Amino acid sequence: MKQFKIKKYNQTDFNLWNNFVANAKNGTFLFHRNFMQYHSDRFEDCSLFVSDEKEKLVAILPANKVGNELFSHQGLTYGGLVYNDNLKLEVIINIFHDVLKFLYENSFEKITIKCIPLIYHKKPADEMLYVLFLLESKLIRRDSLAVIDLKKENSISKGRMEGVSKGVKNELEIVEESNFEKFWNSILIPNLNEKHNALPVHSLKEIEYLHSKFSKNIRQFNVYKNSEIVAGTTIFESEQVAHAQYISANSTKNELGSLDYLYYHLITNVFKDKKFLDFGISNEDNGKILNKGLSFWKESFGASAITQDFYEVSTSKFINLLNVLK
């Protein structure tokens, strides 16, 4: 079996890491170090480099550690092994064997991987799902993402179109802007606090910092009625996908049709040339509960479900990959 060199990332590798992400077939801007490091005070980074015998970088693993466990980074929506499209399945198997062996020899007992949903792949990149099967990995969570295939004809429900008509009648104005303060402080934070006693994953300061680094990828759309903000959404845009990171409106949303009006505009105008619009999950309790009202609203725009899986792997299982190839 071909052997690969595994080493931990350090800050001197900043440019090398980011250049690799830019060319990977399953890389997105979330794996850029400027994104990963905005919450470095909350996570102990333990990302890995994988190099071949010629010292050429062939794969990376964005990760953090907690005790003797490794996680494909808990501060990211998805993760796992990131690699270029010239690697064959056989090589991916060998690489992950060496990654697990490295972790095992460094006293890590297990690794948890949150898979990258297939819509984010620039090219098909489900090799890791096959490897996880070979490793007898334990499926510990499965979320359902509501996704619109923007290259297909999608039927938008009568209810949603009635909301769009309300938006037109109420002369709502949609504005893309770089000011996140209005949406965060007037809409998003009050709503999350009232409904879930929670705060956004990103503080206002954090989203402003991330936007300063990724202004083309992180976009804010607000809806106004008579110059007063009534709704908004924050979009994380990658090469394939426009992902709705936050969606929120004030109590007038049904009366004004603000969210229906906003998303009809995004689907039919702003992101009509993207491959997918990802509304994200409507799940709670590690995927075991579905918020049916939220799911229904998303599906009413023509969205349907794809899944994102979370796996737990014992590092000692690296031996499972020894006799796979023949």
DSSP 277-325: EEEEE-EETTTTEE-HHHHHHHHTTT-EEEEEEEEEEEGGGGGGGTTS-
Tell whether the model's pLDDT for residue 54 goes beyond 80: yes
96 sits in which H/E element: helix 89-105
For strand 276-281 and strand 138-149, is the pairing parallel, antiparallel, or unpaired? Answer: antiparallel
Rounded to 5 degrees, what are φ and ψ at 300?
-70, -15
Tell me the CATH number for domain 152-274.
Answer: 3.40.630.30
Condensed to tens digits (0 to 9), the pLDDT of residues 165-205 reads: 999 999 999 999 999 999 999 999 999 999 889 999 999 99
pTM of the model: 0.95
Residues 5-142+309-321: name the CATH superfamily.
Gcn5-related N-acetyltransferase (GNAT) (3.40.630.30)
- Whether the CB-CB separation of 249 and 187 falls below 8 Å is answered with yes
Condensed to tens digits (0 to 9), the pLDDT of residues 269-288 reads: 999 999 999 999 999 999 99
Condensed to tens digits (0 to 9), the pLDDT of residues 206-252 reads: 999 999 999 999 999 999 999 999 999 999 999 999 999 999 999 99
Domain ranges in the chain?
A: 5-142+309-321, 152-274
Buried b (16+ CB within 10 A) or exposed e, 206-217: ebbebbeebeeb
Condensed to tens digits (0 to 9), the pLDDT of residues 131-173 reads: 999 999 999 999 999 999 999 999 999 999 999 999 999 999 9
Tell whether the model's pLDDT for residue 2 goes beyond 80: no
Mean pLDDT of 64-85: 96
Enumerate the β-bridge partners of residue 145.
Answer: 281, 306
Task: Note the pLDDT of residue 1.
Answer: 65
Residue 306: alpha-carbon gap to chain centroid? 13
